[in-house]
């Protein structure tokens, strides 16, 4: 099953991908007398992996706008240098243990949206990395190897960006180099784990403009997805909706006017355009919810 969040007629909905479009959760509930939440994060928390779509008329793809599956993941873990080719690309040494770090939800942008580069005086060397994302489906801690599969809800595509020149100044600046606005996205599709028979056989591709920047198979990661889930559950409680973005074979150096895409056959495609940013001051005058454009 493939799930997504989308805009239709000015309203946000959750839905299931079917032939010819998307079956909205509200229509599924009406047709099948079910009570699935119209919210993808709540569906993950519920553990719903078999939502009936028979007889539900889909909304055509060109009538809707895909959005982030949910805008505030409980946690966003990313894994650096998990492919040897990426370490070689930036002249770094692969760590023995996962080079993991966290990113704030404030750095996310919408699927198909814009990556806004930092002002040049802050960073002038940014790369975009297409990656496989693991979506946690159950609250868990100290997960044994043989039970990892049952705590994974599904998989998605991610784009993780890095200000490489900030990182080169000092490796301690890793979080800062990864946390500029519009430096992360995921989705728009989450595919449930039961549809991915061989996670290690997935090929992770980063496309840059009209060509392929990098491609490699999950089996070539230093620490593969199941291992990453088990490892991180030792250090903290994992919760439904947590993301682990598992690393990129090689990032694409991006410039204003570029396009970049993460593509994983059987999982999905996540794209963005790139534009220059500036130092336009922004101060919210009144309290209110954050808006991700």
Say yes or no: 27 and 122 in one domain. no
In this structure, are 85 and 59 located in the same domain? no
Percent pLDDT > 70 in the chain is 96
Tell me, yes or no, whether 169 and 111 share the same domain: yes
Of the pLDDT bands very low, low, confident and very high (cuts 50, 70, 90), residue 71 is very high
Residue 285 lies in a domain: no
- Domain membership flag for residue 121: yes
> Would you list the DSSP string of 177-241?
HH-STT-EEEEEEEEEGGG-S-GGG-EEEEEETTEEEEEEEGGGSSS-HHHHHHHHHHHS-B-TT
Structural domain for 172, as ranges: 76-275
Span of 27-41, 83-97, 213-227, 239-253 with lowest mean pLDDT = 83-97
User: Of the candidates 132, 156, 160, 121, which has an alpha carbon nearest to the alpha carbon of residue 254?
Assistant: 160
Residue 104 placed within a domain: yes
Is pLDDT at 14 greater than 90 in this prediction? yes
Q: Is the pLDDT of residue 135 over 70?
A: yes
Q: For position 216, which CATH number holds?
A: 3.90.850.10
**Number of domains the chain is built from:** 2
> Which tokens sit at 236?
């903290």
**Continuous segment of H or E residues that includes residue 28:** helix 25-32
User: Mind listing the pLDDT tens digit for each residue in 94-111?
Assistant: 778 888 999 999 999 999
The contacts of residue 96 (CB under 8 Å, 6+ apart) are none
288 pLDDT tier (thresholds 50, 70, 90): low
Q: Are 217 and 202 in contact (CB under 8 A)?
A: yes
pTM: 0.93
Give the model confidence (pLDDT) of 207-233 as tens digits. Answer: 999 899 999 999 999 899 999 999 999
**What per-residue confidence (pLDDT) applies to 290?**
57
- Going by C-beta distance under 8 Å and a sequence separation of 6 or more, which residues neighbour residue 277? 116, 117, 118, 119
Distance CA 116, CA 129 (A): 15
Q: What is the mean pLDDT of the chain?
A: 93
Residue with tokens 């159950």: 138
Q: Is 292 domain-assigned?
A: no
Pair (80, 214) in one structural domain: yes
Instruction: Write out the H or E segment, with its range, that includes residue 32.
Output: helix 25-32
- pLDDT surpassing 90 at residue 7: yes
Asked if residue 60 is part of any domain, the answer here is: yes
* Lowest pLDDT segment from 43-57, 145-159, 272-286: 272-286
What would the two tokens of residue 254 be?
Answer: 């991006």
**What SS3 class is residue 246?**
coil
For range 122-143, the mean pLDDT: 97
The DSSP string of 128-176 is: EEEEEEEEE-S-BSS--GGGGGGGEEEEEEEEEEEEHHHHHH-GGGHHH
Asked, for residue 117, whether it belongs to a domain, the answer is: yes
CA dihedral 49, 101, 130, 118 (to 10 degrees): 130
The pLDDT value given to residue 217? 95
Whether 168 is in a domain gets the answer: yes
Q: Please tell me whether residues 55 and 81 are part of one structural domain.
A: no
Residue 291 lies in a domain: no
Q: What is the pLDDT of residue 289?
A: 60
Do 47 and 135 lie in a common domain?
Answer: no
The band of 284, judged by pLDDT with boundaries at 50, 70 and 90, is confident
Q: Which residues, other chains included, contact 232 with Cβ-Cβ below 8 Å and sequence gap of 6+?
A: 77, 98, 100, 238, 244
Confidence of residue 36 (pLDDT cuts 50, 70, 90): very high
pLDDT of residue 85: 75
pLDDT beyond 60 at 292 = no
CA dist 36 and 43 (Å) reads 7
140 and 35 together in one domain:
no
Would you say residue 252 has pLDDT above 60? yes
């Amino acid at each position: 099953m493939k799930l997504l969040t989308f805009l239709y007629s000015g309203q946000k909905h959750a839905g299931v991908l079917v032939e010819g479009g998307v079956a909205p959760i509200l229509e599924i509930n009406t047709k099948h007398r079910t009570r699935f939440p119209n919210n993808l994060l709540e569906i993950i928390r519920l553990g719903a992996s078999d939502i009936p779509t028979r007889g539900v008329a889909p909304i055509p793809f060109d009538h809707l706008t895909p959005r982030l599956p949910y805008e505030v993941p409980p946690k966003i873990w990313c894994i650096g240098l998990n492919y040897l080719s990426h370490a070689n690309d930036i002249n770094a040494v692969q760590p023995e243990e996962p080079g993991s770090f966290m990113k704030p939800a404030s750095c996310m942008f919408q699927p198909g949206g814009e990556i806004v580069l930092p002002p040049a005086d802050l960073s002038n060397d940014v790369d975009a990395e297409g990656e496989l994302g693991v979506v946690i489906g159950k609250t868990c801690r100290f997960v044994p190897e043989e039970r990892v599969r049952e705590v994974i809800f599904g998989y998605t595509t991610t784009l993780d960006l890095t200000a490489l020149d900030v990182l080169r100044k000092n490796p301690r600046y890793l979080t800062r180099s990864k946390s500029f606005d519009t430096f992360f996205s995921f989705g728009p599709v989450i595919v449930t784990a039961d549809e991915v028979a061989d996670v290690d056989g997935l090929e992770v591709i980063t496309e840059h403009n009209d060509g392929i920047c990098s491609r490699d198979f999950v089996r070539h990661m230093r620490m593969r997805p199941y291992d990453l889930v088990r490892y991180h559950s030792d250090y903290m409680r994992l919760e439904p909706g947590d993301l682990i973005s598992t690393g990129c074979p090689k990032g694409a150096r991006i410039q204003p006017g570029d396009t970049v895409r993460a593509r994983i056959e059987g999982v999905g495609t996540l794209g963005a355009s790139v534009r220059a940013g500036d130092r336009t001051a922004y101060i919210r005058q009144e309290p209110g919810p954050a808006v991700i454009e």
